[in-house]
Structure 1
Amino acid sequence: MVNILVGCTGSVATIKLPLLVNGLIGLNPEIRVRVVVTEHARHFFEENNLPADVEVFHDADEWAVWNKRGDPVLHIELSKWADIFLIAPLDANTLSKIANGLCDNLLTCIVRAWDLNKKLFFCPAMNTKMYQHPITATQINTLESWGYKEVPVIEKTLMCGDTGAGAMAEVDTIVKTVQDFVKL
């Protein structure tokens, strides 16, 4: 059994979430997928487009499960459950938060609690100008220095009409990267 937690942030590339989840599940019947989304990611997909057995977690869920000492803490529980954390897409805002240690939502709290002996993949996705800003390379290097693995962006015409680097890797590339790691 391989448990994969997929994180999505506020990038238009989140529209590919159903394809990504189905691609991961299709690798092997032993794969279980859960999804955690930022509030801005919710703008780009409909939960009913995901398989019915895939749980989706939001920021509000963090506070719904804890009432008193001894109750589970969701970001800790999810970080323990997952064998792999795949953040696809990782927008510029959340990249910056993670690289600087901020944890102000469920997804960034999971990253902060992540066991560095387990694999975390991240797939940047942002406008070309944002991607080319010098701070982006610095932040990606920071994540890689912690052992996180980048699935590099691609060049294409973005939703905004600009053409250049910054688009999230193709779903097939992301799925293959995970497949190569888990040797399924």
Structure 2
Amino acid sequence: MQTGVSPKCDLLNGSGTFRVLVGVTGSVAALKLPLLVSQLLELPGVEVQVVSTEHAHHFYNPAEISVKVYTDKDEWELWTQRSDPVLHIELRRWADLFVIAPLDANTLGKIASGICDNLLTCVVRAWESSRPLLFCPAMNTAMWNHPITARQIASLKDFGYVEIPCIAKKLVCGDEGLFVCVCVCVSDILFPQHKFT
């Protein structure tokens, strides 16, 4: 798979660690967040933090996530006066890689349009183009097949972001949908010497 993402050795920061910021949005595929985080943490030298949208909270149990999960509430509670650090800027400075998985249709539209009305979309808007951003769209097939989706995906690719394709799965509504497979894809792209089963 051609992704345009450099191998791990080119992405390590000066401290010898590799910092992955995982963004999770309101798709049922967010159920896979605990698995994604645990598999990334199995990679040597990897640190992980999570940014979650409000709608994503419905699909995972925060107690199952072993790393810090930031929400919109944190963005506003951590900033009380002008001299305080701004969370979305600090997260963007911290991370070597931003992986948005799953990326639901709503957040896809926001990013493609430049809207930044929550913590996750503010991090995206402030993201440095020299650092990789991977996204894994996950939605119902009817939503995926809407003509606007292809345009929005193309916009993200024009920004230099890299799409990780999803796989088709049966959704809770009974329809086929695109389901996140990023757990394996990210490790294969960045750390090809480590294989997960």
Query: Does the TM-score normalized on the shorter chain lie above 0.5?
Result: yes
In the other structure, the counterpart of 2:77 is 64
1:1-184 correspondence runs (5 A): 1-28=17-44, 30-51=45-66, 54-163=67-176, 166-169=178-181, 171-180=183-192
Q: By how many angstroms is 1:68 displaced?
A: 1.3
Q: By how many angstroms is 1:70 displaced?
A: 1.5
Q: Which amino acid aligns with 1:38?
A: T
Q: Which amino acid aligns with 1:129?
A: A
CA deviation string 1:130-170 (max 9, x = no partner): 0011111110110011110000122232222112x522225
Contact 1:20 1:175 in 2 (8 A): no
User: Moved runs in structure 1, 4+ residues, more than 3 A?
Assistant: none
SS at match of 2:191: helix
Distance 1:170 1:81 in 2: 21
Distance 1:6 1:100 in 2: 21
Q: By how many angstroms is 1:50 displaced?
A: 1.4
Distance 1:36 1:4 in 2: 11
SS at match of 1:66: coil
Distance 1:76 1:166 in 2: 31
* Number of aligned residue pairs: 176
Contact 2:31 2:59 in 1 (8 A): yes
Distance 2:86 2:138 in 1: 29
Q: Which amino acid aligns with 1:171?
A: C
CA deviation string 1:66-125 (max 9, x = no partner): 111121000000001000000000000000000000000000000000001000000100
| Compared CA separation, residues 63 and 55, structure 1 to 2 (3 A) | same
Give ranges in structure 1 of 5+ residues lacking alignment: none
Distance 2:145 2:128 in 1: 30
CA RMSD of aligned residues (A): 1.2
Distance 1:170 1:63 in 2: 30
Distance 2:75 2:190 in 1: 27
Quote the sequence identity (%). Answer: 55
Q: Which amino acid aligns with 1:8?
A: V
